[in-house]
Structure 1
């Protein structure tokens, strides 16, 4: 009987200790979650964007698109960013030009870059232009923080357009190295506006920006450009669809939805001055 009683007492102690350990772990987990939420509430908007990018692009690689949940998460955080959150005002020198007859310089404020993603802000004076270019294998989140900007974007045509029996081969066009693209967007936008998302194969992966007024665009790219990895930026000329073979059958109203794009060298007069971001501090941890 004595042995049975001692065994029972021992098991009772073990159960009590187990319950105490479980309660301690639960309390620690609750405290950890509470502390994490408190840290997030105390984070600056820029810091929250950075932390979200780290999570969303943790597995970033060429042609990889984040999950719908991650896309919504980053879109929501980016949508909440205001110009004051990144220390910008329209009257800053980045947004003015001394000689209106010259093509204005564009300033890129470098915030952060790693193998998975990059963050930065393009500052455009009035009439500033970022020429038509691509984002090979990238998912791009952009937000116009302020100003009015004209955006024209395209997707490559990979299937036959409506009313066209076959895709025209390059050899059948007037210029052999042209490629057919569909116009995705061709309109003015006023900031601040909802973020736009360009996917590797759709959503307007090729685009150009023209500043109607001084404006700023916050860009997040995943993965970033990388020459050694074959993700260089390519620039393009655009030509009307009418520059194609006369044998193509398509209604006139449909023709305005398509253009021919041709690769070109980076425009000599396109100059981007790179500066380090000096807004509210963002800490990597």
Structure 2
């Protein structure tokens, strides 16, 4: 099994069916549980599948110094992604001015994608500094996403998964930056947060075709 033709892949290629228990709608009042099937990992990349029932959400998070290929195998999903807005002279992300004496890491980001996708569709690619490095997935129907991350997350090497809260542009200010009023919807402030407690991701055994190392 290999991923050279990822654009043509479907759930059948990885041993999934939409009628599996992973994809059933959750009980009313409960947050949908997301299932993750780990396929393969080495020092250079990791491969896995996220299985989401209707209304399942993978919150806004980043991929530091990583390139990610995401392939929607079936279903409909809304994807919203951001890239950092950087200072033109220093190349560093723009930080918000402190508000009412508060401090914290709040940075300006520009929307890269804010759309619904329905399989079959092309593989999306995000890069360390472009392509929507911070993204959020919301399942409109039951769906599955194949993710290839290179290199994989690794806390000791500084590749920690960080989650974010979104705030409207008007909430904070930053010196020497002027954004036209009609562009406000294309920007937001992202503030680091702890992993959301209401998000549950459980592991499940991958039962599809095996990876053969050469």
TM-score, normalised to structure 1, is 0.68
Aligned residues: 207
Task: Please give the residue correspondences for 1:1-285 in structure 2 after superposition, counting only pairs within 5 Å.
Answer: 47-49=1-3, 74=4, 77-159=5-87, 169-173=95-99, 176-177=103-104, 178-245=106-173, 249-285=178-214
SS of 2:12's equivalent in the other structure is: helix
Cα distance in 2 between the residues matched to 1:86 and 1:169: 42
| RMSD of aligned Cα (Å) | 1.9
Higher relative contact order structure (alpha carbons within 8 Å, sequence separation ≥ 6): 2
Q: Which structure is higher in helix share?
A: 1
Counterpart of 1:56 in structure 2 is none
Equivalents in 2 of 1:273, 1:146: separation in Å? 20
Cα deviation digits, residues 188-214 of structure 1 (max 9, x gap): 111121000000111000000000100
Q: Deviations over 1:78-117 (max 9, x none)?
A: 1121211111111111101341320011000110001110
CA contact (8 A) 2:97 2:172 kept: no
Higher strand proportion (structure 1 or 2):
2
Query: Where in structure 2 are there 5+ consecutive unaligned residues?
Result: none
Higher-Rg structure is 1
Structure 2 contact 96–172 (Cα < 8 Å) conserved? no
Between the aligned partners of 1:145 and 1:98, the Cα distance in structure 2 is 21
Q: 1:268 to 1:86 in 2, by over 3 A?
A: same
Q: Classify the secondary structure of the residue corresponding to 2:183.
A: helix
TM-score scaled by structure 2?
0.90
